[in-house]
Homo-oligomer: A and B are copies of this chain.
Amino acid sequence: MRVLLRVEYNGGAYCGWQRQKNGLSVQEVLANAVFEVTGERSVMHGSGRTDAGVHAIAQAVHFDTHTKIPLDKLPIALNAHLPKSVRVKSAREVQGNFNARFDALSKTYLYRLYASPVSSPLKEGFAAFVPKKPNVQEMRRAAEYIVGEHDFKCFQAAGGHVKTTVRTIESLIIEEKGDEIIFEVTGNGFLYNMVRIMVGTLYYVGIGKLRPEEVKEIILSKDRTRAGKTMPPEGLYLKQVRYAED
């Protein structure tokens, strides 16, 4: 039986989603809990990697099991063997050829930044601190050039290896909430570090280092060096992964 889990985690406690030699990964912690509960050594297939410090509100993970535990009881059983920084929120059966990565129709990420004279101990690790308040209207104008199907090579970090850098951004919403600015971006796929570089580029627009129209030019140039800085991981949250079966 193939099972699809939705998993919330605090990325600050891990070296990222993917198993690594030095550092504890969410994948490893989850595989260990599955082993404790089922006695089986199963590979945990995530919808994609998240870097160290990046959070997940609902990472999607599939794995195979012969467990007799009813699926509605599986989250409780797994959570009993997981640290509090990782929680399985739901489990359901999917078809035997389902793949959490390749079957994802779209993903939604949040990015939280806050502008304040002094950094906030209570937001530390959960939102990116910027000293200068960006102009949200200008960032929204720039965001219009990002929405749609484009070659986003300019927003791909070194180390990304994919056949095509063309992706479709379905929506990019920017909201203010107190001293926070929250970016919610949905797309059919994301390149390595794409959201963090995209937000860094929009932030440059917000503080006047780039004009909104320049974002269009940067995309067309396919030149990473013209885009903004990669924003820090702690502001990023994988919010949702959608599948045809949902």
Contact = CB atoms under 8 A, between A and B. Distances in A.
Nearest 8 pairs of A and B residues by beta carbon: A10-B121, A85-B121, A84-B124, A87-B118, A9-B121, A8-B121, A87-B121, A89-B118
A79 interface: yes
B86 A121 contact: yes
A126 interface: yes
A82 to B, nearest CB: 9
Contacts of A89: 117-118
A132 B87 CA distance: 18
A8 B129 CA distance: 15
Given A84-B124, A85-B124, A124-B84, A75 B118 contact: yes
9 contacts: A8-B118, A8-B120, A10-B121, A75-B118, A87-B118, A87-B120, A88-B118, A122-B126, A122-B237
Contacts of A84: 119, 121, 124
A124 B75 CA distance: 18
On chain A, which size bracket covers the interface? 20 to 34
A33 B99 CA distance: 53
Contacts of A122: 8, 10, 55, 57, 126, 237
A216 to B, nearest CB: 35
A41 to B, nearest CB: 24
A187 to B, nearest CB: 22
Nearest to A129: B84
Nearest to A86: B121
A1 to B, nearest CB: 22
Interface string A5-28: 000111000000000000000000
Identify the interface centre among A55, A75, A120: most chain B CB within 10 Å of its CB: A120
Interface in A81-115: 84-89
A78 to B, nearest CB: 10
A16 to B, nearest CB: 15
